[in-house]
Structure 1
Amino acid sequence: MALLAKVPSHVRGTVLVTPWLIYLAVCDVVLSLLLLVKIFAPDLVYGVSSRIAYSVWKWIQCIFESCNGARITISGDRLPIKESAVVVSNHVTWADFYLIQALAMRSGMLGQCRWFAKIQLRWVPFLGWGLWAMGMPMVTRNWMRDQRELQRVFGGIVNRRWPMWLISFSEATRFTPEKSEESRIWCKQNGRPQPLHLLYPRTKGFVTTVQQLRKAPHVKAVYDFTIAYQHRSNFHVAPDMWETLRLPNLSSAQGYRFHIHVRRFPLEDLPYTDEELAKWLEQLWVEKGEWLDAMKTEWATT
């Protein structure tokens, strides 16, 4: 690492990332081949794909934290080890994945993370096929159209009891000032509360997920992750994807702060009707916004 610190950052990033990209390509080919086996041995494929995913994600996590010096701080509830859960989070940038993966590693669930992804990826050779083989939910965000796909994913969790963190960015897109203004206008027109530093959450996917996974005895909770960044004195500013891979000393020299706040809610404590669940998520987002505003104030003084 000392030698890499002396070379230009773009060269440094290329040296760090190229071996990982080659490994990722090999893993995508293997996962794509497993898609054929999945018809006959779904449990075997889920287990193997989870081990492959663990190795891929841990490697890139090491680049971010160990090689590039990102210090991730964590607050809130302590999560049980190897507990399956529904996970919701706000979405700011690519670095969100690192923060969530840091929690997953500490909870023994890194290889069992499954993320909602766009259905168009299914037709991307190897990369998309690999995600499909892993059991990633591939959705359009039109929940009526996605019912069949979701039943496939939920069936593996409920009927086969696959351990899983099923992760969703409930705002459905990244936070930007432009999208924040669109969210503010929509909330005003529809009489909804606009959360601070966040977009108004999409509730249908969350409601569908919770209602289905209540049937899985090993899925015990909903985890809420609130992600916050700061770059020197600028709140909610994070490095882009390439910067996370090429810049050394992200926290010390580059001045980035990475924080994730955790809340755990037992499924049995959540409301049972669709309407009440939607309201619950709405209120949760209001509370997340208040927490982010408090964090912004705290960081401004330290």
Structure 2
Amino acid sequence: MSRLRAAFTLLLSVALTILVTVLCSVPIILAGLIKILLPIPGVWRAVSTFCHFMMYGWCAGLAALLHLNPHLKWDVQGLEGLNKRNWYLLICNHHSWADIVVLCVILRKCIPMNKYFLKQQLAWIPFIGFACWALDMPFMRRYSRSYLLRHPERRGKDVETTRRSCEKFSRQPTTIVNFVEGSRFTEEKRLQTHSPFRNLLPPKAAGIAMALNVLGGQFDKLLNVTLCYPENDRQPFHDMLTGKLTRIVVRVDLLPVTQALHGDYINDRVFKRSFQQWLSDRWTEKDQLIDAIKAEYKNAGH
């Protein structure tokens, strides 16, 4: 009976999630077609406002679906002082596809609609890729170290993409989200990357360094978000869909955007090293925080 209940919950959750996504993404896609046919600044601004409204509806729909799970408990700290009229740069660890859902749900009423740095490959997913483009999501083409050794002319291209994407965000309050690890955490990836952290992959600094360089004067705060699923650490997204997710822990740390975080990451080696060290220090603190959260709930369970 337990397996049948989980299977039914999974099918129902997937069906409802698809329904909510279709209802919100189809109008966004149609609005995106208007952006292509009428490349006029005023039209683009109106379309962007409409697309943000529809994305808010998608976030609200996901929040309603999560509330159908009677076992799910939230432990969220640090939302005080956030404002939808401000600009934010948000960095976060990336453990699961559930992370995107969690960030959308808890932050939708607190800050401007999230803009996620997305992998270039996602642009080719039918419907979803075009909807993300209509929402002005920045797509990042990441190159491996071995590829750059073979094609040195590509060095810095992903950073230039960041620059172009961020420039258009200067017109209205925006939250730029970057999962700076570049990939979802797994133990296999942790070993492959020789990560010095127990719960995280090594952070990649170039994207947020460029975002700060382009929009640093407009960012009111940097949001350092830590996500943890202490009772569902192995497969939180699957557990979310099957109704087995029992606890989501979110910690939001507001950091000042100081002058020390502004600089030429590509050409200034001193700044590059200092910025990488600053980010590594934040990741060390985040790793220790996740350890503490897991220990707290493990002890509470006993």
Q: TM-score by structure 1 length? A: 0.81
CA contact (8 A) 1:72 1:257 kept: yes
Distance 1:49 1:37, change over 3 A: farther
Q: Which residue of 1 aligns with 2:290?
A: 292
- Which of 164, 169, 182 is the aligned partner of 1:172? 182
- Which of 214, 229, 238 is the aligned partner of 1:212? 214
SS at 1:267's partner residue?
Answer: coil
| Displacement of 1:263 | 0.6
SS at 1:8's partner residue?
Answer: helix
Q: Which residue of 2 aligns with 1:199?
A: 201
Q: How many residues align?
A: 273
1:264 matched to 2:254: yes
Distance 1:21 1:101, change over 3 A: closer
| Displacement of 1:137 | 0.5
Q: Which residue of 1 aligns with 2:241?
A: 245
Q: Which residue of 1 aligns with 2:30?
A: 30
> 2: CA distance between counterparts of 1:212 and 1:6?
47
> 2: CA distance between counterparts of 1:48 and 1:154?
20
Q: Deviations over 1:29-87 (max 9, x none)?
A: 324313315621332222111111111122122212x1124322112462422122110
Identify unmatched segments of 5+ residues in structure 2.
Answer: 144-154, 263-270
Q: Which residue of 1 aligns with 2:223?
A: 223
Moved more, 97-106 or 269-278: 269-278
SS at 2:225's partner residue?
Answer: strand
Q: Which residue of 2 aligns with 1:183?
A: 193
| Displacement of 1:145 | 1.7
Which structure is higher in RCO with an 8 Å CA cutoff and minimum separation 6? 1
| Displacement of 1:222 | 0.9
Distance 1:37 1:108, change over 3 A: farther
1:119 matched to 2:117: no
Counterpart of 1:57 in structure 2: which amino acid?
C
SS at 1:72's partner residue?
Answer: strand
Q: Which residue of 2 aligns with 1:191?
A: none
Q: What percent of counterpart residues are identical?
A: 22
Across the aligned residues of Structure 1 and Structure 2, the Cα RMSD in angstroms comes to: 2.5
